[in-house]
Amino acid sequence: MTTNADEFARAQGVMPGGVSSPVRAYRSVGGTPRFLVSGSGPYVTDVEGHRYVDLVGSWGPALLGHAHPAVVAAVQAAAAQGLGFGASTPGETDLAELVRDRVRRSGGGLVERLRLVSTGTEATMTAIRLARGATGRDLLVKFAGHYHGHSDGLLADAGSGIATLALPGSAGVPAPIAGQTLVVPYNDLATVRAVFEAHEGRIAAVIIEAAAANMGVVAPSQGFDAALASLTHEHGALLILDEVLTGFRVGPAGWWGIDPVPFTPDLVTFGKVVGGGLPLAAVGGPARLMDQLAPLGPVYQAGTLSGNPIAVAAGLATLRAADDEVYRRIDTVATALADATSAALTAAGVVHAVSRAGSLFSIAFRATAPRDYDEARDQESFRYAPFFHAMLDAGVSLPPSVFEAWFVSAAHDDEAVARVLDALPAAALAAAAATPAQR
């Protein structure tokens, strides 16, 4: 029988770091990544036959749990009809209508038109190009610690001053491209205002995670998104709301539907849940903006695999199954797990805070929940690796980084929750015993 270590060694021989996406390599927690062979409901199984309660959830898409029967049946039926045609299919329109209607019902704004793409990265890239095309401006504002995919302009790091243009955040990103992005602290409207004033008439758009969940979970402060929308519009720029992670996960449409202060973004990006676990994402907005995309307008965007019928079938089946009961269950499970984790850490004497945005949550090893990227980084993150490994040894697969949200699904039944709860006390003790040098 093969082992995780064998598979990791084999993969490293032929793939950089042995992975197709960096976080899977366990670099921030150390140890051997689990090579998975199957998933069912709340569980995943590795090549050694170990079964884990999964709190990674494919990084978000697995809203209904793994291999949900309705989604699998829809995918099988679609595959039997052909894997893709590079031509339009009725399912794409069904999905676009479903998204439009769910957003409308949630009290959200206008998703009159939707362009289907294959990844969240593509969705945000397209939204930004559209915003630039529509405004005739070049600069983009993004928030430190927010992740919108790996396109060049979005891998920009903050420079030394808030009104300065950003530096490349990755080798291979040309400075002039990073220099089109201004990086500002999250939840800090005064700085956004200052940046608009310093670059009057030059900012095309502000892009923001609807609720930040890629530096651990950091919710917007009360009314922040709404105030940001007003400020952005005052300066003739567009607000791009990135719901790739939150969309159809934190509620029937996304964060947009549950933010306590309503607001209207201009463009919205979706990914993850909207594709039901297959490569599908989307950018949406009002017709007056979206119709500037080719073939109607001058902003070019295209994709061989865009709107792939199997991915569309998975997305449709997932959204059709994602009823109020699904969201109730996810909220219940998230609360149970967040509360129990906090109780176990408290009992072990570990300073921590639970950070929540709807059903998304993460644990920060600091006294208060972080409000921005500086605070998110200012924590005893060395406590996470031993905590993570103790949970893994006890059969619970957490995200392999303290800066990721924990994803629950509607399939996390009482038995799966109980397994997590059983594992927590020993993991909390491991976190308590951690020292900075330890990994």
Q: How far is the CB of 243 from ligand PLP (least distance, A)?
A: 8
DSSP states of 70-90: HHHHHHHHHHHT-S--SS--H
Of residues 221-280, which lie at the interface with ligand PLP (CB under 6 A)?
242, 244-245, 271
Comparing C-alpha atoms, which of 301, 376, 374 is closest to residue 151?
301
The SS3 of residue 37 is: strand
Q: List the catalytic residue out of 43, 225, 266, 272.
A: 272
Q: Map residues 139-178 to x or -, x wherever contact with ligand PLP holds by CB under 6 A.
A: --------xxx-----------------------------
Q: List the catalytic residue out of 242, 259, 266, 372.
A: 242
Count the neighbouring beta carbons within 10 Å of the beta carbon of residue 169.
Answer: 16
Binding of ligand PLP by 208 (CB under 6 A):
no
Find out whether 156 and 167 touch, Cβ atoms under 8 Å. yes
Bridge partners (DSSP) listed for residue 140: 181, 205
- Per the annotation, the verdict on 147 as an active-site residue is yes
Comparing C-alpha atoms, which of 362, 408, 406 is closest to residue 381?
362
Binding of ligand PLP by 119 (CB under 6 A):
yes
Nearer to ligand PLP by Cβ, of 154 and 317: the residue is 154
Binding of ligand PLP by 57 (CB under 6 A):
no
Q: How far is the CB of 21 from ligand PLP (least distance, A)?
A: 8
Q: Map residues 374-413 to x or -, x wherever contact with ligand PLP holds by CB under 6 A.
A: ----------------------------------------
The CB-nearest residue to ligand PLP is 120
DSSP E strands in 67-172: the ranges are 113-117, 139-143, 156-157, 167-168
Cα radius of gyration (the chain)? 21
- Per the annotation, the verdict on 272 as an active-site residue is yes
Q: How far is the CB of 142 from ligand PLP (least distance, A)?
A: 11
Query: Using CA atoms, how far apart are residues 344 and 334, in angstroms rounded to an integer?
Result: 15
Tokens of 277: 């676990």
Count the neighbouring beta carbons within 10 Å of the beta carbon of residue 112.
Answer: 17
- Per the annotation, the verdict on 142 as an active-site residue is no
- Mark the segment that binds ligand PLP (CB under 6 A) among 63-71, 116-124, 311-319, 388-396: 116-124
Question: Which residues contact residue 234 at a Cβ distance below 8 angstroms, ignoring those fewer than 6 apart?
Answer: 196
Residue numbers at the binding site for ligand PLP (CB under 6 A): 59, 119-121, 124, 147-149, 209, 214, 242, 244-245, 271, 281
Residues marked active site are found at: 147, 242, 272
